[in-house]
Amino acid sequence: MKKWLYASPLLLMACGGEPNDPNEPPQVDSNNATPSAEENNNLENDQNTSNDEDSQQASLSSDDEWNVEVVASNLASPWSITIEDEVIYMTSRNGSIMKLQDNEIMEQNIDTSDSIVQAGEGGLLGFTMHEGQAFAYYTYESEETGLTNRVVTLEEQDDNWVETGILLDAIEGDNIHNGGRIAVGPDDMLYVTTGDANEPDWSQNESTLAGSILRMTLQGDVPDDNPINDSYVYSYGHRNPQGLAWNEEEELYSSEHGQTALDEINLIEAGNNYGWPVIEGDEEESGMETPVAHSGDDTWAPSGITFYDNQLVVAGLRGESLYVLNEDTEELEVIFDGEGRLRDVVSHNDALYVLTNNTDGRGSPADNDDRLLRLTR
């Protein structure tokens, strides 16, 4: 559908990392009428906001021709991209971090207090850095609560990583709907998306951490100005949000998987209830928010998002496309496709870095999948 030009690729083979067991069936969301509704469906601040406030670039459109460079290949179940001081870090759901520096790629192990468990949609998910401090979100198996998620700090030591602290524990988890995106906002607070952990009613329960966007200090404390007293919950009523990004006006946007299509892009405001499971799409209910845009009968399965020239760009899994939000029509428009499922996207130095996600059991891997692509116009 879209036109693009391939630049001379820099093919960097990811060392180590076993592919998913081909005999393991893909996880299907039992709440969905079709598997397409689910995922079958940070980043440093300059990756989640437009870093080109004075840019005169033309608006993104479906007519764009992209120069495509393959920056890294043979990545196993990658989930997030973080760029810090021109070093690129990519998490793998199997519990490792791929570090790309000076045209060389290294697989780094993580020493964690509990083993990272890649089960269903869980594993090592979000990762971000801020002023040299690293933060991560991962799934583990708890004797008391089963699959559970936590937010931790990490430190790089001898080409590997060591967990140095647990900022938040006991985030409800499951084989599906773990959320997992983390990012530091322009207010120097850490934001975390959580899914409903396959228990939709938890999203309407402010006493749980599930189905929410959480906000905490970089030390893991509840900020004094959070909307709910003594609570990490910043917004709730979410099903499975997987994207966080701020525009130049410091407005927070999030992407969210719908139940059967009806995927959403939401403008997040403190204390607001985004409706799941009571309302979806254009449905309305007093005290609940409707999305900026939703997919209707189609499925995007949106994951990572970023702002590029102050336009919201969205990576789609089931939709297998990169989208831009048209604020006039309140629709997402395809600006790039043909690479299968897309998990994350980051804007950096006038380029879009895009992570494919075809090796987790739900895609159709091509040779050298998964890959990190660099798109320029």
Using the structure block, give the residue that is written with the tokens 């520096």: 101
Give the model's confidence band at 362: pLDDT under 50 very low, under 70 low, under 90 confident, else very high.
confident
The string of pLDDT tens digits covering residues 218-247 is 999 999 999 999 999 999 999 999 999 999
Give the model's confidence band at 23: pLDDT under 50 very low, under 70 low, under 90 confident, else very high.
very low
Give the model's confidence band at 48: pLDDT under 50 very low, under 70 low, under 90 confident, else very high.
low
Mean pLDDT of 275-300: 97
pLDDT at 13 over 90: no
Element (H, E) at 51: none
Please compute, for residue 88, the number of CA atoms within 13 A of its CA located in the half-sphere on the CB side.
25
What SS3 state is found at 189? coil
Write the DSSP assignment of 262-296 as a string of letters. Answer: --EEEEE-TT-B--TTT--TT---TT-PPPSEE-T
pLDDT: is 54 or 139 the higher one?
139
Using the structure block, give the residue that is written with the tokens 């393991």: 24
What SS3 state is found at 257? coil
Provide Rg for the chain, Cα atoms: 19
Q: How many percent of the chain have pLDDT more than 90?
A: 81
* CA–CA separation, 149 and 147 (whole Å): 7
pLDDT: is 251 or 14 the higher one?
251
Q: Which residues pair with 13 in a beta bridge?
A: 73
The string of pLDDT tens digits covering residues 155-197 is 999 999 999 999 999 999 999 999 999 999 999 999 999 999 9
Q: Residue 112 contacts by C-beta under 8 Å, 6 or more apart in sequence?
A: 95, 138, 140, 152, 163
Which pLDDT score is estimated for 26?
Answer: 38
* CA–CA separation, 174 and 27 (whole Å): 11
pLDDT at 40 over 70: no
pLDDT at 30 over 80: no
Closest C-alpha to 290, from 262, 332, 311, 317: 262
The string of pLDDT tens digits covering residues 313-335 is 999 999 999 999 999 999 999 99
Which pLDDT score is estimated for 91?
Answer: 98
Mean pLDDT of 291-303: 97
Which pLDDT score is estimated for 64?
Answer: 87
Which pLDDT score is estimated for 8?
Answer: 40
Which pLDDT score is estimated for 38?
Answer: 45
- Give 319-357 as a 3 state SS string: CCEEEEEECCCCEEEEEEECCCCEEEEEEECCEEEEEEC
pLDDT: is 79 or 54 the higher one?
79
Which pLDDT score is estimated for 342?
Answer: 98
Q: Which residues pair with 374 in a beta bridge?
A: 69, 353
Give the model's confidence band at 100: pLDDT under 50 very low, under 70 low, under 90 confident, else very high.
very high
The average confidence (pLDDT) of the chain is 88
pLDDT: is 51 or 354 the higher one?
354
Give the model's confidence band at 307: pLDDT under 50 very low, under 70 low, under 90 confident, else very high.
very high
Other residues' Cβ atoms within 10 Å of the Cβ of residue 92: 26
pLDDT: is 56 or 137 the higher one?
137
Which of 32-36, 123-127, 214-218 is least confident?
32-36
Which pLDDT score is estimated for 29?
Answer: 40
